[in-house]
Copies of this chain bind each other. A is one copy, B any other.
Amino acid sequence: MVIFQEMNDFQKWYSIFWKTKYYKNNQICYNSAKPKDNKILLIKQGILSVQTTNRQGEKTNSEILVAGDIVNIEALKEARGEWDIPGLIQYQVVALGLVEIYEIEKEFLLSHLYVDPRQYHQFFERTIIQLINVSFSYAISNKRPQDKIAWTLFRIAEKVGEQHKKDRNLIILPSFVTQTFVSEMSNTGKSRATEAYRALLKNGVLIQRHGHKMIDFKRLLNYLKQEVLSDYSISKATNQADESFFKKG
């Protein structure tokens, strides 16, 4: 993100408008029950998990955030609407490993962004992409566990996957991506997730090797195209998903 470099330049002069905060593994970086309406929390470095609580009081991982994402996106809303439910989803955001977060005065961030519309647009784009992805998660929420999990693996790989140095088609997943983590993020019951996991291991989409969990990207893509995406075409003939768009690196 360009914004970080620029911000580093300004850091010395404008330091009254922000501070950098550091968190260790498992530390809570934000709790929506104690909102910071005047500050925007922008992730400088690290990986974070958004957690909600279910009826039994258990924490559930529901989203991954990475550098460039905003922790408290609702704080970017200027006005509270008539139909706004404050704290619609109560959540907390937890560090997975070492994390650095810019805590920026909202008014400063906005006016800074207004000066450079391209930077502003980058924030907007990220939100649009997130909206499209979450809309799709919602659209397939009644589908087979296997499909939901395949889609969740795609989303996780996109955010935190690391390309294998020798075989560029393999995406290595970080160790926090356990079966439980995936089942939570995909809104799938644990026992059904186990079956789905087995099926994805069997058809080679998911690979377990030397203690690492990896994804065969082409296979995952083909699976999604054939089993999941094709269901959501207005006209199946016009489905435009094209492998060339997915080539990474």
Question: Which A residues form the contact surface with B (CB < 8 A)?
Answer: 31-34, 51-55, 62-63, 73-74, 76-92, 110, 113-114, 117, 120-121, 123-125, 127-139, 141-142, 154, 158, 187, 224, 229, 231-235, 238-242, 245-249
Contact = CB atoms under 8 A, between A and B. Distances in A.
Contacts of A234: 31-33, 51-53, 90-92
Given A33-B240, A187-B141, A245-B84, A90 B131 contact: no
6 contacts: A33-B235, A82-B246, A83-B158, A87-B229, A88-B232, A91-B232
Given A74-B132, A89-B139, A82 B124 contact: no
Nearest to A116: B114
Contact of A81 (B129, B130, B131, B135): B129
Contacts of A87: 229, 233, 238-241
A182 to B, nearest CB: 15
Given A79-B125, A110-B117, 17 more contacts: A54-B231, A74-B128, A77-B128, A78-B125, A82-B246, A83-B158, A83-B246, A86-B241, A87-B238, A87-B240, A90-B235, A91-B234, A117-B117, A127-B128, A138-B138, A141-B142, A141-B187
A102 B247 CA distance: 35
A134 B138 contact: yes
A241 B87 CA distance: 7
Contacts of A120: 117, 120, 124
B142 A187 contact: yes
B136 A137 contact: no
Give the number of copies in the complex: 2
B130 A131 contact: yes
4 shortest interchain CB distances as A-B pairs: A141-B141, A33-B238, A114-B117, A90-B233
Contacts of A135: 63, 89, 134
Contact of A245 (B76, B86, B110, B136): B86
A41 to B, nearest CB: 15
Contacts of A249: 82
A149 to B, nearest CB: 14
A90 B224 CA distance: 14
A248 B83 contact: yes
Contact of A139 (B62, B92, B123, B238): B62
